[in-house]
């Protein structure tokens, strides 16, 4: 899986590729110049800080780079810090994810003929992509954005997740709390209510690993 060090290394390489410092890259993307400073990469107590999906999306747009460019092999070939090689993963719409018969027992899309999106190889777990439809996940995710998700990844409080209920509803939320009986979900869109869903009504929950915006 992608590590904190790998993601920050990818930002540093993208800046270097365009003849910029991390501060210069942030400025080009319309961000605060200190956004990518090394001092911002760890919290005061030593916990890792990750760049936001929005900030990464802005630098990709400002430089014209894609996910393959961002996660590609560093110049000079593979090294100890090389990122996974991009591969194609299945791309589903939320309506397909909500319908029955699209997943195997391990929670991975079955069959062939899916649209695909490029994402770094993850040898430890299968991933797939979901395309947002509608505006219920604004302002964080817009219509047409693509979420890379994993149903095998561990989910902790505060993680962004996609949840499918037994009645076929599929929603992207923030996991606020999980008990032995239910999960409590915080809405991404303030116009939509938070949700509490009994575990008996949760068919699956997948952690959002990345968003292509």
Domain boundaries, the chain: 4-71, 86-212
In this structure, which topology does domain 4-71 adopt according to CATH? 434 Repressor (Amino-terminal Domain) (1.10.260)
Give the 3-state secondary structure of 128-149.
EEEECCCCCCCCCCCCCCEEEE
Phi-psi region of 2 (alpha: psi -120 to 50; beta: other; left: phi over 0): beta
Query: What is the enclosing helix (H) or strand (E) of 6?
Result: helix 4-17
3-state secondary structure of 88: strand
Q: β-pairing, 86-93 with 128-131?
A: parallel
Contact 184, 194 (CB under 8 A): yes
Burial 62-89 (b: 16+ CB within 10 A, else e): bbebebeebbbebeeeeeeeebeebeeb
> In whole angstroms, how far apart are CA 188 and each of 91, 166, 185?
22, 21, 9
Q: Domain 86-212: give its CATH code.
A: 2.10.109.10
Can you tell me the distance from the alpha carbon of 141 to that of 208, in angstroms, rounded to the nearest whole number? 12
Cis ω before 139 (30° cut-off from 0): yes
The predicted pLDDT at position 99 comes to: 59
| Local confidence pLDDT in tens for the 213 residues of the chain | 567 888 888 888 888 888 888 898 998 889 988 999 888 888 877 788 888 878 888 888 888 877 666 765 544 443 444 445 566 777 877 666 655 555 554 555 555 556 777 666 554 567 888 888 777 777 778 888 888 888 888 899 999 998 888 888 888 889 999 999 999 999 888 888 899 999 999 988 989 888 765
């Amino acid at each position: 899986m992608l590590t904190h060090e790998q993601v920050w290394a990818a930002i540093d390489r993208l800046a270097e590729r365009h003849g910029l410092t991390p501060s210069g890259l942030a400025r080009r993307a319309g961000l605060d110049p200190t956004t990518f400073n090394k001092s911002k990469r760890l919290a005061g107590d030593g916990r890792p800080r990750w760049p936001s999906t929005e900030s990464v999306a802005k630098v990709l747009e400002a430089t014209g780079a894609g996910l393959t460019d961002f996660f590609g092999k560093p110049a000079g070939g593979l090294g100890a810090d090389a990122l996974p090689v991009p591969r194609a993963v299945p791309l589903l719409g939320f309506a397909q994810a909500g319908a029955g018969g699209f997943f195997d027992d391990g929670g991975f899309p079955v069959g062939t003929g899916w649209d695909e999106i490029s994402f770094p190889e993850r040898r430890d777990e299968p991933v797939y992509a979901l395309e947002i439809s509608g505006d219920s996940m604004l302002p964080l995710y817009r219509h047409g954005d693509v979420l890379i998700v994993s149903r095998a990844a561990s989910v902790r409080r505060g993680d962004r997740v996609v949840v499918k209920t037994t009645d076929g509803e599929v929603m992207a939320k923030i996991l606020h709390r999980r008990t032995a009986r239910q999960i409590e979900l915080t809405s991404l869109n303030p116009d939509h209510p938070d949700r509490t869903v009994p575990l008996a009504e949760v068919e699956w929950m997948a952690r959002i690993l990345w968003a292509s915006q």
